């Protein structure tokens, strides 16, 4: 199945790199794309359980799905994830 999810706290290519690296490591997830301009991620996945895992990974990185809680701790995590993504892209 292919889906698009809209996420919070997505700011730049550093965020994009972090998200792509994390989701590509999950077995059963393919064709990952991150779209900074509309704060979304598209990907193919095999099962509903896997989709829940992806949402959890995004949230843990600081990019909760739109509609989920977005406390300052998640926002702070997104800045750290962003910085890691920028360093990894260098």
Q: Give the pLDDT confidence score for residue 84 in this predicted structure.
A: 80
Of the candidates 31, 39, 48, the one whose C-alpha atom is nearest the C-alpha of residue 70 is 39
CATH number for the domain spanning 10: value is: 3.30.70.100
Q: Give the pLDDT confidence score for residue 89 in this predicted structure.
A: 61
pLDDT tens-place string over residues 5-29: 999 999 999 999 999 999 999 999 9
Q: What is the DSSP string of 66-83?
A: BTB---HHHHHHHHHHHH
Percent of the chain with pLDDT over 90: 78
The mean pLDDT value of the chain amounts to 92
Residue 51 tokens, joined: 């989709």
How many domains does the chain divide into?
1
Q: Which domain holds residue 63?
A: 2-89
pLDDT tens-place string over residues 38-54: 999 999 999 999 999 99
Q: For residue 62, how many C-alpha atoms fall within 13 Å in the half-sphere facing its CB?
A: 21
pTM as predicted: 0.91
Q: Which helix (H) or strand (E) holds 41?
A: strand 40-45
């Amino acid at each position: 199945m292919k889906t698009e999810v809209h996420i919070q706290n997505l700011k730049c290519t550093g965020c994009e790199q972090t998200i792509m690296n994390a989701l590509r490591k999950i077995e059963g997830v393919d064709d990952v794309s991150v779209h900074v301009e509309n704060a979304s991620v598209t990907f193919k996945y095999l099962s509903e359980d896997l989709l829940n895992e992806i949402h959890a990974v995004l949230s843990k990185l600081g990019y909760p799905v739109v509609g989920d809680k977005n406390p300052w701790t998640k926002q702070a995590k997104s800045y750290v994830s962003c910085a890691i993504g920028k360093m990894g892209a260098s």
